[in-house]
């Protein structure tokens, strides 16, 4: 198989000669093999000629012949994708967990153990085995360990490692940035230390270390077990450390720490904005709100090293200037409606909601002043996208919030919404074959993505191509299905579980439809792909061991459909009826689970649809007829019989036609796979008519009327005789609005008498009856807010605004009476919440103020050379100015301007001493200045007076009427200088002694002061008394003596310092 694929013909003689001295080994298909050899060739179980087997699970360990050796393998392989065949390499014996790499598909490999022996684990679970692999065995005798790198300078590094054999020739291969072994710069050495010079500063380097032995047949770039190491060159003094980042909706303020004040910094944003700063702070303005910005701060001399770590790289979002629709959720979804809600925000003036279906190119728009919106007139089983913007931000996408959802099928608005994956009654899990319920979560990338494991199909014309296009992904007559699992093998399993509360007044039966697609690999039954369906009670126990549980595992005995040329079998859509009437007023669970095969090479998945139903169905005929057509649901075995002749089977089809004779007919519907699982349907051979009836009630708190469908299937077309509900209804309201809901609601604007039409029908409209009924809507008990009072006033005057009677009032002025006295200085809007019988009304009123000014004096400051150009003035000199205006409503309008001109602030500083040596803290800095506002220090303070409690650098950003003032100061602790002479001559009066000398005795604490003679003998030690040149009351000889001093300072915070030196004793 392999030699003739990998080697040219010109080398066949060489190979044949070599094979005389090289052992070959075949991995067993399902066993363990142990090899003790330093050379040879190892093949898969198919050997050198044949493909590997369909089912392989084998382990081989190769041991070097001598202690200290380690095994290498090199060669090529032709495998399939990971799930079908793979090889795993482990450093160590068969018990090792140190997996160093794995392979699948096609390629070459050079793999090295790092602990002596090398173990291979080969798995295959496939129907189309490939050529396999051929690996040559090598053994080398030295391996680098304890590898370290030391950065000497910003362009120099030293690499060290340990070796077992000092005669080994090593190769150190390195490169700036990641690289594949064999493509870097190589250094050959017979030592275990290499010095790397002329490196680029601020750069990441990678390197490998291997021996000459490792280079034998070193032709494959896919290396495994050759550890790559790394180090980083950098300049310590030019690194910036971010201290603070603050942002508004259009600005970013930055402060950072620097240790070299001579650096010019390059600061750039991810949008392309940049600036140079000589100070460790800067400001970016005119930015987009709600946008994410990556920031880069670097010494401008290093700016070419764009990807290096010499740059500080923080990031920040600018804030949104307007409210945000946070925590947007889908609160409720039906076939034609969806309720979207988000967090309430009292500062929001309104919201813009735009939405569209997946096939629409234009968005629909709704403007609301609430924190919710009801989207109507939607299409069933259709994906929708919704975005919510604040009304004030010009539809800034950065500050919008979005949600995507799928509307429900039209047939399940009043049943189990099995497609609502967001429901609290739905739970999805996934995991391996051994535990499908291992992890909670939904894996859904859409039904077109093979990776989806829980997804929804809603294209009714779609077919499953893995079944030869014969299986429809949605059952006939339905709109949607859920697919569980996928056709990607890999020993995966997953589940969907639904919680359902049983109310037999609505439904007393589930009709489950499912279709299954499995591969049949002929594993053991416990390892086969499978699909299970379980009906569980509230205790998660099967409701019925036979009929509440289905377990389909892949098997040729199932007599399912098969796909020619493959091992795929599939089951077409099948119906299963579950009688749930005995669980009335209880919770039950429906759980679906799919499994791939346990070995990982074969898939299994299923589709399903869930409907609710009643055991006692409507007749399929209606009206004035002489015969009736009775119908049972598809997918069962049917046995029809007359109650008077129970032993005679009338028909085994799903429908029968009988005369109107007032007899009772039964149909036993049996599950096709188990006839003991069945339910019985009952039919009365009587004429039936749709009879429309309804009732209505006024909503407690408003103008909404709630309608209730009371329509029945009647035995008479003139009088309602019967209790069976007629649920096929259509409502038509006075403005033309149509609803197909059972119990809709409608909002009326005012009191009055309104017509309502209810159409009840049977058999898809074959029989129809219409009810015309007028309803009386009286909203007199629910008053609207009505305001009284003047809404246009002169500035400086007052108006009283009152509201009509309610139980409770809450104004946004915090008043709680029915009236408020208002004197706004400008046009303003006021809000009122009024409560009546617990019901809330909400309204607003605007008070218009004219003129805008009323003998007002405006105090303004402008910068020298600028003009004050506002409120009708255009001035650039200091002074007092007045202007008089006349308003159309007769209000006086006088405005005064007191204008001050401030000096320019070029080279302006509020801190005289930029570098202060302070003996004692705290220290107070006052940067208060005229026409200054918004003080911002790098430590986060917003005060103009800063109390400093620690040494360091302090920067302030001050907004001045003429611009921005940047100022700074560095507070340092005093230097403590200690001096010791290099020679001294003691005298008899002890005036000339040897002891540390310093300026301030309160700033130094001597911990230890010792003197040693030339023999290393301690001859003096004291913390207070100077040395007089004696030892044990005997004068020491002239000569050199060593001293060692240990001390602390007042400013060292407990840190100790050490000095040492030589003093010459002269006599």
Tens of pLDDT, residues 629-648: 888 876 688 999 999 999 99
CA angle, 287 as apex, 281 and 290 as ends, to 5°?
110
pLDDT exceeds cutoff 60 at 569: yes
pLDDT at position 21 is 47
Mean pLDDT of all residues belonging to the chain: 87
Under the banding of pLDDT at 50, 70 and 90, the label for residue 456 is very high
In the numeric block, the tokens 């735009």 are attached to 354
pLDDT at position 131 is 96
pLDDT at position 260 is 79
- What's the rounded mean pLDDT across residues 597-622? 83
pLDDT exceeds cutoff 70 at 1030: yes
pLDDT exceeds cutoff 80 at 4: no
CA distance 1043 to 1020: 9
pLDDT exceeds cutoff 60 at 239: no
CB 276 within 8 A of CB 282: no
CA distance 849 to 889: 11
pLDDT at position 462 is 96
pLDDT at position 18 is 38
Which segment of 459-463, 745-749, 757-761 scores lowest on mean pLDDT? 745-749
pLDDT at position 20 is 36
pLDDT at position 953 is 85
pLDDT exceeds cutoff 60 at 101: yes
pLDDT exceeds cutoff 80 at 837: no
pLDDT at position 12 is 32
pLDDT at position 19 is 42
CB 871 within 8 A of CB 897: yes
pLDDT at position 596 is 96
CA distance 37 to 22: 10
- What's the rounded mean pLDDT across residues 858-862? 89
CB 593 within 8 A of CB 601: no
More confident position, 879 or 894: 879
Which segment of 364-373, 708-717, 809-818, 850-859 scores lowest on mean pLDDT? 850-859
Domains detected in the chain? 3-140 (2.60.120.290), 145-233 (2.60.40.10), 236-317 (2.60.40.10), 329-406 (2.60.40.10), 427-613 (2.60.120), 627-684 (no CATH), 689-770 (2.60.40.10), 787-848 (no CATH), 856-902 (no CATH), 915-972 (no CATH), 978-1065 (2.60.40)
- What's the rounded mean pLDDT across residues 240-269? 84
Under the banding of pLDDT at 50, 70 and 90, the label for residue 22 is low
Under the banding of pLDDT at 50, 70 and 90, the label for residue 753 is very high
- What's the rounded mean pLDDT across residues 733-741? 93
Cα–Cα distances in angstroms (integers) from residue 609 to residues 126, 418, 508, 568, in the given order: 32, 8, 17, 22
pLDDT exceeds cutoff 90 at 55: yes
pLDDT exceeds cutoff 70 at 769: yes
Under the banding of pLDDT at 50, 70 and 90, the label for residue 844 is confident
Tens of pLDDT, residues 354-367: 999 988 888 888 98
The residues near 209 (Cβ < 8 Å, ≥ 6 apart) are: 144, 147, 159, 161, 170, 171, 172, 173, 229
- What's the rounded mean pLDDT across residues 989-1009? 75
- Total residue length of the chain: 1067
- What's the rounded mean pLDDT across residues 376-384? 91
- What's the rounded mean pLDDT across residues 230-236? 76
Under the banding of pLDDT at 50, 70 and 90, the label for residue 39 is very high
More confident position, 868 or 887: 868
Which segment of 67-71, 143-147, 433-437, 1051-1055 scores lowest on mean pLDDT? 1051-1055
pLDDT at position 394 is 75
CA distance 430 to 443: 8
Under the banding of pLDDT at 50, 70 and 90, the label for residue 974 is confident
Q: Which of 971, 939, 972 is nearest to 956 (CA)?
A: 939
In the numeric block, the tokens 């499995």 are attached to 518
Which segment of 25-39, 663-677, 824-838, 988-1002 scores lowest on mean pLDDT? 988-1002
pLDDT exceeds cutoff 50 at 15: no
SS3 content of the chain, % helix, strand, coil (to 5): 5, 50, 45
CA distance 127 to 601: 9
- What's the rounded mean pLDDT across residues 436-465? 94
pLDDT at position 7 is 40
- What's the rounded mean pLDDT across residues 580-605? 92
First to last CA, the chain: 97
pLDDT exceeds cutoff 50 at 237: no
Q: Which one-letter DSSP state was computed for residue 215?
A: G
Under the banding of pLDDT at 50, 70 and 90, the label for residue 304 is low
Under the banding of pLDDT at 50, 70 and 90, the label for residue 50 is very high
- What's the rounded mean pLDDT across residues 189-205? 90
pLDDT exceeds cutoff 50 at 332: yes
Dihedral of the alpha carbons of 955, 959, 962, 968, in degrees to the nearest 10: -10
CB 536 within 8 A of CB 520: no
Under the banding of pLDDT at 50, 70 and 90, the label for residue 1 is very low
- What's the rounded mean pLDDT across residues 924-948? 88
pLDDT at position 701 is 67
Under the banding of pLDDT at 50, 70 and 90, the label for residue 918 is confident
Q: Which of 54-68, 213-227, 612-626, 769-783 has the highest mean pLDDT?
A: 54-68
Q: Could you give phi then psi for residue 13, rounded to 5 degrees?
A: -65, -40
pLDDT at position 871 is 77
CB 981 within 8 A of CB 1045: no
Under the banding of pLDDT at 50, 70 and 90, the label for residue 663 is very high
Buried b (16+ CB within 10 A) or exposed e, 373-386: bebeebebbbbbeb
Query: Which 3 state secondary structure label does DSSP give 302?
Result: helix
pLDDT exceeds cutoff 80 at 502: yes
Q: What is 232-267 written as a DSSP string?
A: EE--GGG--EEEEEEE-SS-EEEEEE-S-TTPPEEE
Under the banding of pLDDT at 50, 70 and 90, the label for residue 889 is low
% of the chain exceeding 70 in pLDDT? 93
pLDDT at position 904 is 86
- What's the rounded mean pLDDT across residues 404-419? 78
pLDDT at position 10 is 33
Under the banding of pLDDT at 50, 70 and 90, the label for residue 1047 is confident
């Amino acid at each position: 198989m392999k030699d003739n694929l990998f080697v040219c013909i010109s080398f066949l003689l060489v190979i044949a000669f070599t094979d005389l001295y090289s052992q070959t080994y075949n991995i067993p298909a399902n066993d363990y093999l142990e090899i003790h050899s330093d050379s040879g060739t190892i093949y898969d179980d198919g050997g050198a000629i044949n493909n590997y087997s369909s089912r392989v699970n084998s382990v081989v360990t190769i041991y070097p012949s001598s202690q200290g050796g380690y095994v290498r393998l090199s060669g090529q392989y032709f495998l399939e994708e990971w799930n079908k065949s793979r090889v795993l390499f482990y450093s160590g014996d068969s018990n090792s967990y140190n997996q160093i790499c794995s392979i699948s598909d096609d390629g070459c490999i050079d793999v090295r153990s790092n602990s002596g022996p090398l173990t291979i684990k080969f798995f295959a679970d496939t129907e189309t085995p490939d050529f396999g692999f051929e690996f040559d065995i090598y053994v080398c005798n030295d391996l680098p360990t304890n590898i370290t790198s030391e950065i000497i300078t910003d362009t120099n590094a030293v690499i060290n490692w340990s070796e077992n054999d000092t005669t080994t020739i090593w190769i150190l291969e390195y490169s700036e940035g990641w690289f594949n072994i064999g493509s870097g710069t190589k250094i050959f050495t017979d030592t275990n230390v290499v010095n790397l010079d002329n490196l680029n500063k601020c750069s990441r380097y990678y390197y490998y270390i291997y021996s000459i032995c490792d280079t034998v047949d070193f032709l494959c770039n896919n290396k495994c077990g050759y550890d790559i190491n790394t180090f980083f060159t950098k300049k310590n003094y030019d690194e910036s450390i971010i201290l603070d980042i603050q942002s508004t909706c259009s600005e970013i303020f930055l402060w950072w720490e620097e240790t070299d004040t001579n650096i010019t910094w390059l600061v750039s944003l991810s949008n392309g904005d940049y600036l140079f700063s000589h100070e460790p702070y800067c400001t970016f303005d005119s930015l987009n709100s709600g946008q994410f910005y990556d920031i880069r701060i670097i010494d401008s001399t290093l700016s070419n090293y764009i990807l290096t770590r010499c740059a500080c790289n923080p990031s920040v979002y600018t804030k949104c200037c307007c409210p945000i629709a946070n925590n947007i959720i889908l609160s409720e979804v039906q076939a034609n409606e969806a309720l979207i809600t988000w967090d309430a925000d009292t500062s929001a003036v309104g919201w813009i909601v735009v939405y569209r279906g997946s096939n629409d190119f234009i968005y629909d728009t709704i403007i609301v002043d609430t924190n919710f919106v009801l989207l109507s007139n939607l299409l069933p089983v259709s994906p929708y996208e919704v975005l919510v913007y604040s009304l004030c931000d010009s539809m800034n996408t950065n500050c919008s919030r979005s949600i995507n959802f799928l509307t429900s099928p039209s047939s399940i608005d009043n049943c189990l919404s099995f497609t609502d994956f967001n429901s609290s009654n739905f739970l999805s899990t996934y995991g391996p074959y051994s535990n499908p319920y291992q992890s909670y979560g939904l894996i859904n990338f859409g039904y077109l993505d093979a990776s989806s494991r829980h997804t929804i199909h809603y294209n009714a014309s779609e077919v499953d191509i893995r079944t030869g296009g014969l299986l429809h992904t949605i059952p006939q007559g339905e709109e949607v299905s859920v697919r569980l699992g996928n056709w990607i093998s890999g020993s995966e399993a997953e589940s969907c579980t639904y919680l359902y509360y049983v109310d037999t007044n609505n439904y007393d039966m589930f009709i489950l439809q499912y279709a299954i697609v499995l591969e049949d690999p002929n594993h053991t039954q416990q390892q086969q792909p499978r699909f299970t369906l379980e009906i569980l009670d509230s205790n998660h126990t099967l409701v019925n061991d036979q009929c509440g549980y289905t377990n389909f595992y892949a098997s040729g005995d199932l007599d399912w459909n098969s796909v020619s040329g493959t091992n795929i079998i599939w089951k077409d859509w099948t119906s299963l009826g579950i009688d749930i009437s005995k669980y009335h007023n209880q919770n039950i669970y429906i759980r679906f689970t799919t499994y791939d095969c346990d070995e990982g090479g074969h898939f299994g998945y299923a589709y399903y649809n869930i409907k609710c139903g009643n055991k006692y169905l409507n007749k399929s005929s209606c009206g004035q007829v002489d015969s009736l057509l009775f119908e049972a649901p598809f997918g069962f075995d049917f046995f029809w019989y007359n109650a008077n002749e129970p032993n005679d089977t009338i028909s085994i089809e799903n429908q029968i036609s009988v005369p109107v004779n007032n007899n009772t007919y039964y149909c036993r519907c049996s599950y096709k796979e188990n006839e003991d699982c069945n339910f019985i349907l009952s039919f009365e051979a009587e004429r039936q008519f749709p009879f429309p009836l309804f009732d209505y009630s006024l909503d407690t708190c408003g103008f909404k009327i709630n309608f209730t469908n009371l329509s029945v299937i009647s035995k008479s077309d003139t009088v309602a005789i019967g209790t069976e509900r007629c649920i096929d209804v259509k409502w038509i309201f006075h403005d033309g609005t149509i609803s197909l809901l059972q119990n809709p609601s409608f909002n009326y604007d005012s009191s009055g008498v309104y017509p309502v039409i209810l159409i009840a029908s049977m058999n898809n409209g074959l029989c129809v009856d219409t009810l015309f009924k007028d309803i009386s809507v009286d909203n007199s008990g629910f008053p609207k807010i009505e305001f009284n009072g003047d809404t246009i006033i002169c500035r400086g005057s007052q108006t009283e605004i009152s509201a009509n009677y309610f139980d409770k009032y809450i104004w946004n002025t915090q008043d709680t009476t029915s009236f408020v006295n208002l004197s706004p200085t400008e046009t303003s809007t006021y809000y009122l919440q009024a409560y009546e019988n617990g019901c809330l009304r909400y309204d607003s009123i605007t008070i218009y103020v004219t003129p805008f000014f009323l003998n007002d004096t405006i105090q303004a400051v402008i910068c020298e050379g600028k003009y004050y150009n506002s409120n009708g003035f255009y001035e650039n000199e200091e002074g007092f100015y007045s202007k008089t205006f006349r308003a159309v409503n007769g209000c006086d309008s006088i405005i005064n301007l007191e204008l001050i001109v401030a000096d320019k602030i070029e080279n302006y500083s509020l801190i005289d001493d930029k570098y202060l040596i302070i003996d004692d803290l705290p220290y107070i800095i006052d940067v208060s200045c005229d026409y200054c506002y918004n003080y911002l220090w790098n430590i986060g303070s917003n005060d103009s007076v800063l109390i400093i409690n620690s040494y360091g650098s302090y920067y302030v950003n001050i907004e001045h009427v003429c611009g921005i003032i940047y100022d700074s100061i560095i507070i340092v602790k005093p230097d403590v200088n200690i001096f010791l002479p290099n020679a001294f001559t003691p005298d008899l009066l002890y005036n000339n002694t040897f002891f540390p000398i310093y300026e301030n005795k309160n700033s130094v604490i001597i911990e230890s002061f010792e003197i040693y003679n030339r023999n290393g003998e301690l001859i003096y030690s004291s913390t207070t008394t100077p040395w007089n040149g004696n030892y044990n009351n005997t004068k020491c000889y002239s000569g050199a003596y060593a001293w060692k001093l240990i001390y602390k300072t007042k400013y060292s915070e407990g840190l100790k310092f050490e000095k040492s030196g030589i003093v010459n004793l002269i006599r």
